[in-house]
């Protein structure tokens, strides 16, 4: 299953948890494993974490447009957290345009094309700035390219949602043939980058 | 909504709860945290009509709780020291509660007992402490009340059970707008589930606020000042606590993140970092300000 592959570390919080047989869902069928998982060491409010995890899933194209989001109740039970927390996360997502809701039916993933375009434009601007700064600091072209390779090696860019990201990457990486080589080395640094990103 | 207005309770010369005013809204999880002996249990016992406040009143939707069976059937109180009839079985307890709570869900009770692996005809006094806790949680959930008061209910449950009980709460909150009121000093536990937190200290309520607001309003800053710079150069911050190790200052400040950042930018330190606080740290800094600094006493 795609979701499990991509967030291997993230799924299955309840996989080894006997609680599910006895959790009082009264014979209701449980769908798959948990789509998201919380990091209890993360100090941000839980709703922000929930919203961020869903944003990732939507941006990466794991949750496709018009897919139904898990109901607040089932998601709250799944994570053993307050339904109001989930509700708050959903409201935030809706406000930001990642999901839309239909009264009486639930929430659905929105077509994020517009938001993505906006975000990509903003990224391009920032990245151009950063690249220029790198040049001024005397960072060599090779070094910059190595960083790009690492970033491109992230599983995130290989997801279904990476379509456009790949095109972007192509544009940035013209003239690079040894892409595969450095991918493996990437993983350690990549994690560091990710964590660094969270802090900000 | 439960409203406690200026309630006070004294036991001989001890004032257990002193002029506490609090509101518990429906559909939100209310966490009651506090130092040992702060009056959490006394508060809950007054809210549930076990004790009569010496002063003030507790009302649910305007109706006083004290000696009012109609209002009392709207909540279930899981005491920290649960009482079961001598020699009774879960089945018998269920029959008792069914008479008190018209909405008691028998089917669900049987289902949950079975899923939790508790035998309905075993004598309760042969149950372990944790099993007794589980039984009272099941009774409380199945009573179908609007409010569920839990006094240290999660203590004594193993981690799997705790998650399960939280899931049960989540389900009932979403399904029938249950309002759990949880007293505990296990802050980790409350952090995940509470919307609103009331912090009791020495009988008084220190603060009562939405958990997320609380988190967004208190920050820890670590900063290194430029050489020759005095700490008094940092102005405009509402500093709650200050610590210094060499050239590194650790400040706990109140205020919104944006505002705090602006202040820090303005005085231009060599380096600064904002660290979000956990509920535990909030608890410690708030009670410390109120003069509860046990570490200072023993170190």
Torsion on CA atoms A26, B182, A19, B139, rounded to nearest 10: -50
Among B146, B168, B202, give the residue marking a domain's end: B202
pLDDT at A2 over 50: no
The rounded distance, in Å, linking the Cα atoms of B66 and B251 is: 46
pLDDT at A170 over 70: no
- Based on the domain organization, do B155 and B227 belong to the same domain? no
Cβ atoms of residues B174 and A70 within 8 Å: no
Q: Is residue B89 part of a domain?
A: yes
- Based on the domain organization, do B109 and B168 belong to the same domain? yes
- Based on the domain organization, do B180 and B142 belong to the same domain? yes
- Based on the domain organization, do B141 and B39 belong to the same domain? yes
- Based on the domain organization, do B155 and B268 belong to the same domain? no
Q: What is the pLDDT of residue A139?
A: 87
Q: Do A19 and B163 touch (CB under 8 A)?
A: yes
The rounded distance, in Å, linking the Cα atoms of B197 and B189 is: 12
Chain B residues close to A39, C-beta within 8 Å? none
Task: Per residue of chain B (299 residues), give pLDDT as tens.
Answer: 999 999 999 999 999 999 999 999 998 999 998 888 888 999 999 999 999 999 999 999 999 999 999 999 999 999 988 899 999 999 999 999 999 999 999 999 999 999 999 999 999 999 999 999 999 999 999 999 999 999 988 888 888 998 899 999 999 999 999 999 999 877 877 887 888 988 888 888 877 888 877 777 888 888 888 777 777 767 778 888 888 887 788 888 888 888 888 888 887 788 888 887 878 888 887 777 777 765 655 55
- Based on the domain organization, do B108 and B138 belong to the same domain? yes
Cβ atoms of residues B244 and B195 within 8 Å: no
Q: What is the pLDDT of residue B10?
A: 93
Domain CATH code at residue B59: 3.40.50.300
Strands A106-109 and A99-102, bridge-based pairing: antiparallel
User: How close is the nearest chain A Cα to the Cα of B16, in Å?
Assistant: 30
pLDDT at A15 over 70: no
Q: Select from A112, A98, A3 the least CA-distant residue to A52.
A: A98
Chain A residues close to B213, C-beta within 8 Å? none
Pinpoint the alpha helices (H) of B73-155.
90-100, 106-116, 129-142
Q: What is the pLDDT of residue A184?
A: 43
What is the per-residue DSSP string for B25-46?
-TTS-EEEEESTTSSHHHHHHH
Chain A residues close to B212, C-beta within 8 Å? 45, 47, 88
Q: Select from B152, A51, B176 the least CA-distant residue to B165.
A: B152
Query: What does the pLDDT look like over B51-98, one tens digit per residue?
Result: 999 999 999 999 999 999 999 999 999 998 889 999 999 999 999 999
Q: Is residue B207 part of a domain?
A: no
Q: Do B29 and A82 touch (CB under 8 A)?
A: yes
Q: How confident is the model at residue A154 (pLDDT cuts 50, 70, 90)?
A: low
Q: What is the pLDDT of residue B296?
A: 58
The rounded distance, in Å, linking the Cα atoms of A25 and B142 is: 13
Chain A residues close to B144, C-beta within 8 Å? none
User: How close is the nearest chain B Cα to the Cα of A91, in Å?
Assistant: 15
Domain boundaries, chain A: 2-109, 113-199
Q: Is residue B75 part of a domain?
A: yes
- Based on the domain organization, do B226 and B128 belong to the same domain? no
User: How close is the nearest chain B Cα to the Cα of A162, in Å?
Assistant: 32
Cβ atoms of residues A42 and A53 within 8 Å: no
Pinpoint the alpha helices (H) of A29-178.
46-59, 72-79, 83-95, 113-137, 141-152, 163-172
Q: Which residues contact B275 (CB under 8 A, 6 or more apart)?
A: A43, B219, B220, B221, B222
The rounded distance, in Å, linking the Cα atoms of B23 and B2 is: 6
- Based on the domain organization, do B190 and B230 belong to the same domain? no
Q: A2-109 belongs to which CATH class?
A: mainly alpha
What is the ipTM metric for this complex? Answer: 0.75
- Based on the domain organization, do B61 and B190 belong to the same domain? yes
Cβ atoms of residues B84 and B91 within 8 Å: no
pLDDT at A163 over 50: no
Domain that holds residue B248: 213-298
Instruction: Extract the tokens encoding A106.
Output: 């639930």
Q: Could you tell me the CA-to-CA distances from B190 to A80, B140, B162, B184 in Å, in that order?
A: 12, 19, 11, 8
Q: Select from B154, B135, B121 the least CA-distant residue to B82.
A: B135
Q: What values do phi and psi take at B15, rounded to 5?
A: -95, 105
The rounded distance, in Å, linking the Cα atoms of A142 and B32 is: 58
Strands B204-210 and A106-109, bridge-based pairing: unpaired
Q: What is the pLDDT of residue B61?
A: 93
Q: What is the CA radius of gyration of chain A?
A: 19
- Based on the domain organization, do B196 and B220 belong to the same domain? no
Chain A residues at the B interface, defined by Cβ less than 8 Å, are 17-19, 21-26, 40, 43-47, 71-73, 76-78, 80-85, 88
Strands B55-60 and B196-201, bridge-based pairing: unpaired
User: How close is the nearest chain A Cα to the Cα of B170, in Å?
Assistant: 6
Taking phi over 0 as left and psi of -120 to 50 as alpha, with beta for the rest, B130 belongs to: alpha
Give the total number of structural domains in chain B. Answer: 2
pLDDT at A34 over 70: no
Which residue from B minimizes the CA distance to A75?
Answer: B170
The rounded distance, in Å, linking the Cα atoms of A107 and B87 is: 50
Q: Do A82 and B212 touch (CB under 8 A)?
A: no
Chain B residues close to A22, C-beta within 8 Å? 112, 115-117, 164
The rounded distance, in Å, linking the Cα atoms of A194 and A200 is: 11
Q: Select from A151, A196, A197 the least CA-distant residue to A172.
A: A151
Q: How many CA atoms lie within 13 A of A199 on its CB side?
A: 9
Q: What is the pLDDT of residue B125?
A: 93
Domain CATH code at residue B290: 3.30.70.250
Q: Is residue B208 part of a domain?
A: no
Query: What does the pLDDT look like over A86-116, one tens digit per residue?
Result: 999 999 999 988 999 998 888 999 987 777 7
Q: What is the pLDDT of residue A174?
A: 43
Query: What does the pLDDT look like over A39-66, one tens digit per residue?
Result: 877 777 788 889 999 998 888 888 888 9
- Based on the domain organization, do B76 and B194 belong to the same domain? yes
- Based on the domain organization, do B88 and B156 belong to the same domain? yes
Instruction: Extract the tokens encoding B211.
Output: 């958990």
The rounded distance, in Å, linking the Cα atoms of A27 and A24 is: 8
């Amino acid at each position: 299953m795609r979701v499990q592959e991509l967030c291997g570390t993230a799924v299955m919080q309840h996989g080894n948890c006997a609680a599910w047989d006895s959790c009082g869902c009264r014979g209701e069928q449980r769908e798959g494993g948990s789509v998201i998982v919380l990091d209890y060491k993360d100090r941000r409010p839980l709703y922000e974490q929930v919203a961020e995890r869903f944003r990732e899933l939507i941006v990466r194209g794991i949750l496709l447009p018009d897919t139904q989001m898990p109901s607040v109740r089932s998601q709250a039970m799944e994570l053993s957290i307050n339904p109001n927390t989930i509700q708050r996360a959903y409201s935030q997502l809706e406000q930001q345009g990642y999901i839309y809701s239909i009264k009486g039916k639930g929430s659905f993933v929105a077509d994020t094309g517009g938001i993505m375009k906006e975000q990509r434009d903003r990224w391009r601007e920032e990245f151009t700035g950063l690249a220029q700064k790198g040049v001024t600091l005397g960072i060599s072209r090779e070094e910059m390219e190595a960083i790009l390779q690492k970033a491109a090696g992230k599983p995130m860019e290989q997801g279904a949602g990476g379509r456009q990201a790949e095109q972007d990457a192509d544009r940035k990486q013209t003239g690079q043939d040894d892409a595969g080589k450095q991918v493996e080395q990437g993983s350690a640094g990549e994690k560091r980058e990710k964590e660094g990103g969270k802090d900000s | 909504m439960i409203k406690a207005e200026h309630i006070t309770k004294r036991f001989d010369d001890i004032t257990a709860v002193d002029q506490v005013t609090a509101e518990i809204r429906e559909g939100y999880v209310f966490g009651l945290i506090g130092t040992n002996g702060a009056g959490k249990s006394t508060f809950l016992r007054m809210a549930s009509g076990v004790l009569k406040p010496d002063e003030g009143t507790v009302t649910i939707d305007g109706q006083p709780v004290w000696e009012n069976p109609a209002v009392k059937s709207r909540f279930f109180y899981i005491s920290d020291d649960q009482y079961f009839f001598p020699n009774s079985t879960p089945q018998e307890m269920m029959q008792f509660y069914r008479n008190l709570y018209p909405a008691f869900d028998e089917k669900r009770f049987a289902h949950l007992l079975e899923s939790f692996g508790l035998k309905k005809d075993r004598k309760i006094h042969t149950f372990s402490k944790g099993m007794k806790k589980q039984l009272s949680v099941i009774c409380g959930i199945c009573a179908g009340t609007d409010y569920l008061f839990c006094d240290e209910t999660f203590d004594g449950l193993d981690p799997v059970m705790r998650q399960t009980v939280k899931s049960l709460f989540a389900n009932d909150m979403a399904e029938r707008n249950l309002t759990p009121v949880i007293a505990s000093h296990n802050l980790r536990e409350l952090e995940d589930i509470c919307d609103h937190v009331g912090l009791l200290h020495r009988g008084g309520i220190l603060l009562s606020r939405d958990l997320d607001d609380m988190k967004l309003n208190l920050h820890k800053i670590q900063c290194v000042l430029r050489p020759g710079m005095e700490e008094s150069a940092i102005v405009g911050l509402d500093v709650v606590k200050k610590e210094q190790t060499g050239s590194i200052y650790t400040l706990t400040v109140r205020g919104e993140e944006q505002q705090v950042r602006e202040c820090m930018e303005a005085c231009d330190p060599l380096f600064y970092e904002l660290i979000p606080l956990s509920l535990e740290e909030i608890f410690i800094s708030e009670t410390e300000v109120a003069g509860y600094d046990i570490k200072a006493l023993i170190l």
